[in-house]
Amino acid sequence: MGMGSGWRIAAVAIAMTLSAVPAAYPAARKVHVVGLGATKRVPYSKVGDPAGAATGEDALKIRPLVVDSLVKEWTTGDAHDVTDRSFVVRRVLRLNDSLPGDKAAHWVWQRGPWLLVDRVTGHVTALKLPDYDPGISQVSWFRDYGAYCGLTVSGKNLYAVVAQVAARKPLLAKRLTTLDTDPKVRPDPVCGLPEWQREPLRITFHPTGKDAVSFDLIPGSAVLVEDSADEAETPAIVAKPN
């Protein structure tokens, strides 16, 4: 075998080795850019959102939730950092309010559910808070806990609720009072914003027309599980020996 043949064989072997190296490693992870955009005001009233508008409220401040330069949702109010990579913010909806036969389209804005947003993966998840009522429940956030006055399905019983972001059952659910089933005769607001205390961990609820009620809580570990990384953009190919 000549020297030229030896070089050709060596070159082929090196090329085969190099071509197999990238296939042995996962594909690169995509870096997501997540943030909240600039605030703007939109018309808003009890006519458009009878469950969520405050007395005298005629405009709503909204801002886009942007993921990788695309608007994923519209939000309202302050965001709360749950961890250094996850936050919660309230969604706002633009609802079609046109009646059958209306010649012109009619759209209204409504406050919606709370969203959990992961800055690393770009995932957006709607939170299902127990006994949460958008017209009554004002959520006060601390760590991964959300405290609010909740309303049962019957609309009669007002509850003190503390929910944990990723837990199925509430950490606290205690009956506060009975409400009239007719929303027109209920106090506005039904409940003030709950207040947190760190040491000892305590939450105080303020039902309108009633004495404040406080509960001491036993703190537990956060149950929010965050993915270690986003899924690869393309499936990784693992080199197998012949």
142 shares its domain with 113: no
Q: Final residue of a domain: which of 81, 104, 127?
A: 127
Q: What is the spatial distance between Cα 200 and Cα 134, in angstroms, rounded to a whole number?
A: 29
**Least confident residue range of 28-32, 94-98, 177-181, 186-190:** 28-32
Domain coverage including residue 83: 27-127
Predicted confidence band of residue 50 (pLDDT cuts 50, 70, 90):
low
For 206-221, how does the pLDDT look when each residue is reduced to its tens digit (9 = 90+)? Answer: 999 999 999 999 887 7
DSSP string, 123-173: -EEE---TT--TTT---EEETTEEEEEEE-TTS-EEEEEEEETT-SS-SEE
The count of domains in the chain is 2
**Binning pLDDT at 50, 70 and 90, where does residue 159 land?**
very high
Structure pTM?
A: 0.77
Residue 17 belongs to a domain = no
Domain match, 191 and 153 both: yes
In a domain, 107, yes or no: yes
- Reported confidence tier of residue 16, pLDDT bands at 50, 70, 90: low
The reply to whether 138 falls in a domain is yes
Residues 133, 121, single domain; the answer is no
Alpha-helical (H) ranges within the chain are 3-20
Dist. CA 13–CA 149, nearest whole Å: 70
Q: Which residue has the higher pLDDT, 242 or 170?
A: 170
φ and ψ of 10, to 5 deg: -65, -40
pLDDT over 90, % of the chain: 50
Instruction: Please compute the mean of the pLDDT values over residues 97-116 and round it to a whole number.
Output: 90
pLDDT tens per residue across span 220-239: 777 666 765 544 433 333 33
Shared domain check, 123 and 32: yes
Task: Look at residues 82, 110, 127 and tell me which one is the last residue of a structural domain.
Answer: 127
Is residue 199 situated within a structural domain? yes
Query: Based on the domain organization, do 123 and 35 belong to the same domain?
Result: yes
Q: Is 139 part of any domain?
A: yes
Task: Look at residues 190, 159, 189, 192 and name the one whose alpha carbon lies nearest to residue 176.
Answer: 159
Whole-angstrom distance, CA of residue 9 vs CA of residue 44: 76
Are the CB atoms for 39 and 64 separated by under 8 Å? no
